[in-house]
Amino acid sequence: NAGVTQTPKFQVLKTGQSMTLQCAQDMNHEYMSWYRQDPGMGLRLIHYSVGAGITDQGEVPNGYNVSRSTTEDFPLRLLSAAPSQTSVYFCASRGPGLNEKLFFGSGTQLSVL
């Protein structure tokens, strides 16, 4: 059982470039989310989705786009990368109950030069 698969693991971009971080889960979870992790800031929610076709903004959505065309996939798009987007990105999913834990992907280390 793969769980949450996140690619790539590492990426270096130049300012202004665009890219998509891929996230897929095989647990049939309706809820999926993207976080960024910066030193001293914990994990901050970028965008989340409660089901196919439904997305909403988190705490730090600026500069990022998402879509949810299927239950399994939740890609994160950087339209024009900026150095401030250098971070570690985590995708996560969970089941519907209040006590359902988040299952995390392995993370993407992104550097924007």
Partner 1 sequence: AQKITQTQPGMFVQEKEAVTLDCTYDTSDPSYGLFWYKQPSSGEMIFLIYQGSYDQQNATEGRYSLNFQKARKSANLVISASQLGDSAMYFCAMREAYNQGGKLIFGQGTELSVKP
In this complex, which beta carbon is closest to partner 1, that of residue 54 or of residue 79?
54
The CA distance from 63 to 53, in Å, is 20
Neighbours of 91 (CB within 10 A): 28
Query: d(Cα 92, Cα 48) in Å, to the nearest integer?
Result: 9
What residues line the site for partner 1 (CB under 8 A)?
Answer: 31, 33, 35, 40-45, 48, 50, 56, 58-59, 88, 90, 92, 94, 98-99, 101-102, 104, 106-107
Token readout for 31 is 């809820």
Which of the 8 DSSP states describes residue 84? G
Least distance in angstroms from the C-beta of 55 to partner 1? 10
Nearer to partner 1, 40 or 62 (CB): 40
Cβ of 5: how many Cβ atoms within 10 Å? 15
Q: From the CB of 110, what's the least distance to partner 1, in Å?
A: 13
> Please, what is the minimum distance in Å from the beta carbon of residue 47 to partner 1?
10
